[in-house]
Structure 1
Amino acid sequence: MANNDEIKDDSPFRVHSRREIVSLLTSMMERNQLLSLLIKGGSESIITSILDIDDDDDSVVIDAAPSTMLNESILQSNRIGFEAVYNNIRITFNVDKAQKCLYQERPALKITIPTSLVRLQRREYFRIATPIAKPLRCTFRVTREDGSFTTIVTLLNNISAGGIGITDEKKLLDPTLGRIYEDCSLEMTDNTVVTVKLQIRDCKEVKLASGKTVNRFGCEFVDIPRAVLAAIQRFITKLEREQNAKASGMM
């Protein structure tokens, strides 16, 4: 769910070690790894690569964009995102600005070495659908204005280690993006229920074949304990194994 380095600073997937960051970027440079450079919230992107890393200068030199207009857009951006899939690991990081420079007498761009980056194994960001025959639920415990509590039951559509997709059939949840729900009970097929904190990242109204409209949400896990994350990863592995077995006719 988290996109382009939006995972929280205390996430187990975020790397803060400068030595590790420089080592990873150097390895990507040596293997000519391509990166997506994103600006304007990801609405514009180019493909680039790392040309040079100078730890003492705190800088990374990357290929410039193929057009002057794109380069100007990059130089004017106050936040630049990067994404790559390297050795089956998704790498994302952000920097604040880019500067013009020359590298081997060719136009290039210079950025600072990122202070952190996110490194996700495939299964950590892979989103898998949950069983339709036996629907699972995510129950939100919500505080009313008068201080009393109510529960809102939603259907679980899919899950990843970063968050979940749910359907609110009665359209009771507040769809405000960024809203955090502190006390949510998430069901898993092995009769395990875990408590998670969820942030609303996306909401779409969907019209079903019956003509009924529902709200579908994308929610991100917030401050998830490692033990809960491990349980979710085991659940994802189990779902994937079961779905692969069905597809091969073993179930």
Structure 2
Amino acid sequence: MTEQLDDKQESRFLLNNEADIRALLNKLQKKRSHMTGHFDNSYHIFSTCLLEVGKDTVILDDVSDEAISQRILACSRLHFSSVYAGVPVSFVSSQIEHCLFEGAAAFSIPIPSAIRWPQRRELFRVPTPIGKPVLCEIALNNGEITRNPLSDISVGGIGMLTKVSSPSLKEGALFGGCHIDLPGFGELTSDIRICSSADITLRNGNHARRYGCQFIDLPQQEQSLLQRYVTKLELAMRAPQART
């Protein structure tokens, strides 16, 4: 039996109904969706894809490195993440076995008893690190290049901060080819649209203007990169809670 996700505060994001879980897994399978597996307390990751949804099991592609494969099989808890319709999907498993799928080596895990899927992009915003700001570079319509820190990030968009309100950053404004440097993961390039703006007070007491921005037509490869980064931030946030 796959473990139940244990964050009660996020129960509204969980799919617990077997029919809903199977429906989502089948959608991921039809797209041969890329998945990221986390093991060894999330210190290591591996790439796989969902090959088949069976009666009681999910079949995943094996990894090419035999040593890594054996380490994965020895784990008592694995965390899997993917993206569907631009929204992050994740679940955990306490069992994994080797099997054959169409004559090739594969992994088999039980059908998860719960899947975390917010279903709305704006519901899944993760605060960015304070000590190492994530910056978004935007070419404004007047030719000026600005690099603004982010307050939060998700697969669907970002919260961008400026010290003062900018007349160029109007709601509905579209900016092409914006660059976001994701520390340890690489650079993300995407068009963004300004959806909202508001004056806020930061955690350090300073005042700023926050712009809620939406990614426009983010490619699947960029979605996967962003999801891996968001998952890392989320796991880092949960780590102190797990030790208490």
Structure 1 length normalisation: TM-score?
Answer: 0.49
1:74 corresponds to: 72
Once residues 117 and 29 of structure 1 are traced to their aligned partners in structure 2, the CA distance between those partners, rounded to angstroms, is 15
Of 9-18 and 21-30, the range deviating more from structure 2:
9-18
Alpha-carbon contact 1:124-1:160 (below 8 Å) kept? no
1:96 corresponds to: 94
1:19 corresponds to: 19
Of 91-100 and 116-125, the range deviating more from structure 2:
116-125
Once residues 96 and 88 of structure 2 are traced to their aligned partners in structure 1, the CA distance between those partners, rounded to angstroms, is 22
Letter in 2 for 1:243: R
Letter in 1 for 2:24: L
Once residues 110 and 72 of structure 1 are traced to their aligned partners in structure 2, the CA distance between those partners, rounded to angstroms, is 14
Once residues 125 and 9 of structure 2 are traced to their aligned partners in structure 1, the CA distance between those partners, rounded to angstroms, is 20
1:148 corresponds to: none
Alpha-carbon contact 1:34-1:84 (below 8 Å) kept? yes
Alpha-carbon contact 1:13-1:118 (below 8 Å) kept? yes
Correspondences of 1:102-113 after superposition (within 5 Å): 102-113=100-111
2:210 corresponds to: 243
1:198 corresponds to: none
| Structure 1 outlier segments of 4+, above 4 Å | 157-161, 236-240
Of 71-80 and 8-17, the range deviating more from structure 2:
8-17
Once residues 89 and 24 of structure 1 are traced to their aligned partners in structure 2, the CA distance between those partners, rounded to angstroms, is 12
Q: Secondary structure at the match of 2:41?
A: helix
Q: Give the superposition deviation at 1:127.
A: 3.7
Max Rg structure: 1
Q: Give the superposition deviation at 1:8.
A: 2.0
Letter in 2 for 1:37: G
Once residues 54 and 119 of structure 1 are traced to their aligned partners in structure 2, the CA distance between those partners, rounded to angstroms, is 21
Alpha-carbon contact 1:99-1:109 (below 8 Å) kept? yes
Once residues 245 and 126 of structure 1 are traced to their aligned partners in structure 2, the CA distance between those partners, rounded to angstroms, is 11
Correspondences of 1:209-248 after superposition (within 5 Å): 239=198, 243-244=210-211
Alpha-carbon contact 2:61-2:106 (below 8 Å) kept? yes
Q: Give the superposition deviation at 1:243.
A: 3.4
Write out per-residue CA displacement over residues 40-87 of structure 1, whole angstroms, 9 at most, x where no aligned residue: 1111111111111112xx101100011101110111000011011211
Once residues 122 and 91 of structure 1 are traced to their aligned partners in structure 2, the CA distance between those partners, rounded to angstroms, is 11
Correspondences of 1:116-195 after superposition (within 5 Å): 116-120=114-118, 121-127=120-126
Once residues 239 and 127 of structure 1 are traced to their aligned partners in structure 2, the CA distance between those partners, rounded to angstroms, is 18
Letter in 2 for 1:13: F
Once residues 198 and 7 of structure 2 are traced to their aligned partners in structure 1, the CA distance between those partners, rounded to angstroms, is 24
Identity %, equivalent residues: 18
Alpha-carbon contact 2:197-2:211 (below 8 Å) kept? no
Q: Aligned pair in 2 of structure 1 residues 70, 26: CA closer, same or farther (>3 Å)? A: same
Q: Secondary structure at the match of 2:109?
A: strand
Q: Aligned pair in 2 of structure 1 residues 160, 75: CA closer, same or farther (>3 Å)? A: same
Structure 2 length normalisation: TM-score?
Answer: 0.50
Once residues 212 and 78 of structure 2 are traced to their aligned partners in structure 1, the CA distance between those partners, rounded to angstroms, is 42
Superposed CA RMSD in Å reads 3.0
Once residues 126 and 110 of structure 2 are traced to their aligned partners in structure 1, the CA distance between those partners, rounded to angstroms, is 32
Q: Give the superposition deviation at 1:6.
A: 5.1
Q: Give the superposition deviation at 1:126.
A: 1.7
Q: Secondary structure at the match of 1:62?
A: strand
